[in-house]
Amino acid sequence: MRSLVDRRVRFRCCSAIMLLFSAAMWPRTAGSHQSEKNLPSSASLASISGHVYNADTGAPVGGQIISIGANTPGMAFQPAIVTVSASDGEYKFSDLDPGLYQVLIGGSGFFQSERSALISVSSGQSVSDLDLRVRPAGVISGVVADKEAHPIQGAFITIFHPDSTPPEPFDYMGIQTDDRGFFRVPGLPAGKWYVAASLDMRLSAISPDLTFYPSGDSFATASLIEVNAGAETGNIDITLREPAATAASQQGGSNGRAAHTVSGHVYRSDTGAPLADAIVFLHPIGAQQPGPGETKFVQFARSGPDGAYKFASVVEGTYTVEAQRAGYLNLVSFGSSRFVHVESTPVDGVDLKLHPAALIVGTVRDANGNPLWPFSVTIFHNVNGRFTEAAGALTLDNGSFRAKVPAPGGYYIVASEARGGLLGQLGYVPQYYPGADSLDKAQILQVRPGAKMPEINFTLKRPPTFTVTVTIVDPNAKSGEYDFLSVQPDRDPALKSLANLSQSLKQTLFAVPGTAVRFRTVAAGNYTVDVFRAATTYSPTGRILSAQSVGTRMASTSVKVIDADISIDLPVAASTTNTTSR
């Protein structure tokens, strides 16, 4: 068997799965202009396949996401092709143009033990032994709270590797604590790690806002955490340090800026009753920086029995004041946050409101029980035929999700592939609660404030998929001109009207007029194919740096996929809506 080249890897946090989720473009060989009748025959196309194995035991690993992208320098960008390894570890990419490709792997419970593969395939070549090896990953979990053990929601978690001086952040972007103050960091190689929490997004190792586990202000006072392969190291609880208001900041910063107070109350939005034990954050806005001796970055305070809170040492500037509390929603529409400008006098009466919430929890898995991560759970209502999103959540690496919704109320819930990125190409069919494949079969979940809802579990299926090949026919296209080509399923009204969910079901590719573009994971059903003009930015050498749709639909057509691949020409001279291709 052909295995990946073994190299020493500088591990990064779930680098493959995060790349699959966030990276939208890959290098792709630019083809020559050609019409439908000149499309490459199946005999001239290549394929790459293999298996995914546990590097420690040799056992096959299913449920891993594999991506493949053309890697020819200097060419245009295109989304990678993605697939999922079967229960026996097998994966396959078919109908590939000849060229150089890079293969990456990522998924729940494992990390890639070797560097990504680079492989070149020629016309008609079939590579059937490109095996990928992964190792069981460790997990760190815990809770972030204040000194009185109140949970802190929205704290950012940073992992540091101790092998460098100073220790370097392990590129884990975007992990935040939930309403319980709970965090979970997956995909870690076995070894020792530092963990820090912060209310600021800046991940610098020298940030004064960082609190190192268990409650230190530096690496010297931090404790190392031992992570074992395939195991979870839990109860890594961090007591967040409160920013210290120095005498200098109380009397005015040493740079001459005066310090003032910001105060107000926190109330329930439905009854107006005061809320005790709400946490209130004070976030500086923009590029303003604290002067020497002034309070650093984000401050927080707790509301008292009468709902009152107060920040005593706030230097001049503009801030966001935001309230949070377990069991309540902090939505701007309910008045949970406000902008304040601190200038020459104390700022009083900054009152905030929180709305009672219900908690919806559950899991999203595939038919083999593998957790699907990161997948999207969308919660919405139907008011007089108008579908409005109320809340949403992304699954964690163990497939679990947790979302708060306004209560009381009745909601539909649907699980689907994540919004945007490459995971929208895996071919999983959205599923409604409870296990329905369409809105007319779904049930409304009624929720009450503070009620413990039953666990909502989803099992998503991947039906057989086919390839839709589209060639944009544009006699007036200029050399080097690009368009966006999208294929969107004609689903039920909810999936079409909820903008975020609708986008997650749409497949979009970067297209050169006259060149065949393949959508490879299209299930049976009816679809709309659209062409949009692209606005591109080029480097001095002619490489495309970025591209975005300018919103002008140039052509549109309808296609029906039944049980085979299809190919169509799509002229841009006039709309061809309602034509059907088989």
The rounded distance, in Å, linking the Cα atoms of 20 and 79 is 10
CATH homologous superfamily for the domain 247-350: Immunoglobulins (2.60.40.10)
Counted residue by residue, the chain has a size of: 582
Ranges for all domains in the chain classified under CATH 2.60.40.10: 2-136, 247-350, 465-571
The rounded distance, in Å, linking the Cα atoms of 178 and 309 is 22
Ranges for all domains in the chain classified under CATH 2.60.40.1120: 138-239, 356-460
Tokens for 381, please give them: 């209502």
- pLDDT for 45: 83
- pLDDT for 248: 33
pLDDT single digits (tens) 383-429: 777 788 888 899 999 999 999 888 888 999 999 887 554 445 788 88
pTM reported for the whole predicted model: 0.79
CATH architecture classification, 356-460: Sandwich (2.60)
Q: Give the DSSP letter of residue 563.
A: S
Q: Give the DSSP letter of residue 216.
A: B
Q: Which residues of the chain are modeled with pLDDT < 70?
A: 1-43, 71-79, 113-116, 171-173, 201-208, 243-258, 286-297, 419-424, 478-482, 491-505, 510, 534-551, 573-582
- pLDDT for 505: 66
- pLDDT for 453: 81
- pLDDT for 26: 38
- pLDDT for 50: 94
Tokens for 242, please give them: 């409160």
- The answer to whether the beta carbons of residues 37 and 473 sit under 8 Å apart is no
Tokens for 304, please give them: 């008292």
Domain covering 138-239 assigned CATH 2.40.50.140 in the classification: no
Sheet holding 317-324, edge to edge: 299-302, 279-284, 317-324, 337-342
Domain covering 2-136 assigned CATH 3.40.50.300 in the classification: no
The rounded distance, in Å, linking the Cα atoms of 559 and 511 is 18
- pLDDT for 191: 92
- The answer to whether the beta carbons of residues 130 and 83 sit under 8 Å apart is no
Q: Give the DSSP letter of residue 147.
A: T
Q: Give the DSSP letter of residue 19.
A: H
CATH number of this structure's domain 465-571: 2.60.40.10
- pLDDT for 445: 92
